[in-house]
Amino acid sequence: MNKKDMFIKEKLQEDKEISKDANQIFENFKEEFKIEHKEKKVIEIDFGKFLAVAASFVIILFVGIGVYTNKFKGNSSSEPIKTQETETKQSFKYALKSNSLEDFDLRFLQLENDRKNKIYSPLSIKYTLAMLNEGTEGKSKEEILGLIGEYKSNKYVNSKNMSFANALFVRDTYKQSIKSSFIDNLRDKYNADVVYDSFESAKQINTWVSDKTLELIKNIISDSDIGELNYALVNALAIDMEWENKFLNPINPEALYAHESYYWQAPTQLLSNEFEGVENDVSGMGIIASVNNYDIVGSLGEENIRKTVGDKFREYLSEDPDGTASYYLEGKDIETAVNDYLDEYIEQINNNYKKVYKNTDFLVYTDENVKAFAKDLKEYNGTTLQYVAIMPEEDLDSYINNITAEDVNKIISNLKEIKSENFKEGVVTQISGYIPKFEFDYELNLIEDLKDIGVTEVFDESKANLKGITDDEAYIGKIVHKANIEFTQDGIKASAATLAGGMGAGSMFDYIYDVPVEKIELNFNKPYMFIIRDKETGEVWFAGTVYEPLSLEEEPENQNTNDTIRSYSDFVKDIQVPVS
């Protein structure tokens, strides 16, 4: 240990006091540990893997007339209604022309616009309608076919992260009444399970649903619901997916580019939370990126930079050659030290040009009306889903009232990846923001909504034509569509990879160039809508709105120790995109 260190260490012996208040906190803590531990409340917190976890479930409960007519009376959604010409016309308005995002997918947001946190699955609804179409005839079929139009039901491969399943549950004693052509169609076209059950309890249906929704939806049907039921058609879908690239912790706002006056401003809290009903801080994920398209060497010329910086450095070295300057001199003469320094300086500043930093992979689009953020989930079984959040400047309610698929598709096609070529030349573009986490479930009034877009007869006791399923008289008494979602990150606090200064930021002499910075603020600080879509086909798996995200108080502590210690080189590798 050198003399100066010994001197400082001696001084340190006199400075081992901590404040009374701080000490009290430590003492209190020892006490609290005692109480908490006895109650065994501690340390058993599930940190979650997160990701996006969502599940959806549609069950159509068929009512056999004469056997079961009054079962669902009293439930407004099961009330038979009159079919009107105008409604049939409406069905064409929302007719599907493809599998990708269309007005149909967004219509349910509009129809239920008076409700707040929403989530539903257009994919589930379309699939269920397609299956139902196989069993309808006459005008009932026209209505459904008019709506699903050109929609093609894709088959999906299941895994532990993604489940897509269909089933027809049939009461044992009713087995002979279901047409074999309907069963064959369901099996061939929709990979549907056909399950015969005594229907004495809902156990078998519930177990199937739980199994097919990755255990996210449980006990959906009660024993009394199926008491006198003869058959039910079910679609279940669930995802439990991780982000393709997790969010790294962008806490420390230190300089990223050596020799440039640029600072990484990373939000750790949502700025100016404008969500109603969430008074406290909102829990979420900070996003940050910078794209350095400002070429200092190109604009000023290497010789000029060498002269300006060289002169200042020479001055610095000669002022106090035995002080901090000795670090650079290391026995070299001044000119050699200056040249060595300048070579390194120019190299670093050249390296900074076209450099892209980001704490995670994402896409961004902003204009005067909306802010949009998108991020891919990992590919599972050949399907890559993408989360897209769109926050309008105006109230979400009025935005949704007027929204069209064209608007949303335009936003999606304008989303930019964080790459040098996608951003303005001559400036450093800085993107920073905060995406809230949310978690909720929702039940769509599907019958009412379907009536609005033109499917009416199948719910009408006197008109329903389900002759494709059975020759017995029947209509749809009830449809339940429930969905839930948990949306968050992979241990943001956990990754704890704080970037404290880029290479060279700790040099004792530095000449700092001013760089022009353009900021893109991407804070999702008020209600917004989201979709989770198949990146390739555009098919919308889930859609919804977030009015009340999770507050920090609701969030479990998310400290994942495995990731806490990471090497600097790993970290840089994670956040840096190689210059192409």
Partner 1 sequence: MSIIAQIKKGDQEAFERLIEEYKLPIYKTAKAILKDEDDVCDAIQDTCLSIYKNINKLKNEKHFKTWVIRITINKCYDIVAKQKLNSKKEEKVQLNETRYENNFANNIIVKTDLENAINLLEEDLKLVTVLYYYNDMSISDISMVLNIPKGTVKSRVFRAREKLYHILNKEEVCINE
User: For binding to partner 1 (CB under 8 A), which residues are involved?
Assistant: 4-5, 7-9, 11-12, 14-16, 18-19, 21-23, 25-26, 29-30, 33-34, 36-37, 42-43, 45, 47, 249, 251-252, 254, 266-269, 271, 323-324, 327, 493, 496-501, 503-508, 557, 559-562, 564-568, 571
130-133, long-range: CB < 8 A, 24+ apart: 130/190, 131/166, 131/186, 131/190, 131/192, 131/233, 131/235, 132/60, 132/233, 132/458, 132/476
Residue (306 or 493) nearer to partner 1, CB:
493
Residue (43 or 66) nearer to partner 1, CB:
43
SS (H, E, C) 16-64: CCCCHHHHHHHHHHHHHHHHHHHHCCCCCCCCCCCCEEEEEEEEEEEEE
Half-sphere exposure of 397 (CA within 13 A, CB side): 6
Would you state the structure tokens that stand for residue 95, as one six-digit string?
């007719």
Residue (6 or 300) nearer to partner 1, CB:
6
* DSSP line for 188-244: HHH--EEEEE--SSSHHHHHHHHHHTTTSS---S-HHHHTT--EEEEEEEEEEE-BS
Shortest Cβ distance from residue 573 to partner 1 (Å)?
12
Residue (227 or 556) nearer to partner 1, CB:
556
Q: Tokens 């500043």, residue?
A: 349
Q: What is the DSSP letter of 553?
A: G
CB 358 within 8 A of CB 418: yes
CB under 8 Å to 249, separation ≥6 — which residues? 286, 359, 492, 493, 494, 495, 496, 497, 498
Shortest Cβ distance from residue 15 to partner 1 (Å)?
5
Residue (379 or 555) nearer to partner 1, CB:
555
Residue (27 or 367) nearer to partner 1, CB:
27
Q: What is the DSSP letter of 319?
A: H
- Distance CA(233)–CA(130), nearest Å, equals 11
Shortest Cβ distance from residue 555 to partner 1 (Å)?
12
Residues facing 163 on adjacent strands? 238
Residues facing 351 on adjacent strands? none
Shortest Cβ distance from residue 488 to partner 1 (Å)?
17
Shortest Cβ distance from residue 428 to partner 1 (Å)?
20
Shortest Cβ distance from residue 500 to partner 1 (Å)?
4
Shortest Cβ distance from residue 11 to partner 1 (Å)?
4
Residue (47 or 353) nearer to partner 1, CB:
47
CB 410 within 8 A of CB 188: no
Shortest Cβ distance from residue 323 to partner 1 (Å)?
7
Q: What is the DSSP letter of 2?
A: -
Shortest Cβ distance from residue 497 to partner 1 (Å)?
6
CB 434 within 8 A of CB 251: no
Residue (18 or 157) nearer to partner 1, CB:
18
CB 538 within 8 A of CB 100: yes
Shortest Cβ distance from residue 9 to partner 1 (Å)?
7
Residues facing 162 on adjacent strands? 239
Phi-psi sector, 97: left (phi>0), alpha (psi -120 to 50), beta: alpha
Residue (324 or 369) nearer to partner 1, CB:
324
Residue (15 or 368) nearer to partner 1, CB:
15
Residue (344 or 417) nearer to partner 1, CB:
344
- Distance CA(192)–CA(169), nearest Å, equals 10
Residue (199 or 247) nearer to partner 1, CB:
247
Q: Is 245 exposed, middle or buried (0-12, 13-18, 19+ CB in 10 A)?
A: middle
Shortest Cβ distance from residue 254 to partner 1 (Å)?
7
| CB neighbours of residue 550 within 10 Å | 20
Shortest Cβ distance from residue 33 to partner 1 (Å)?
5
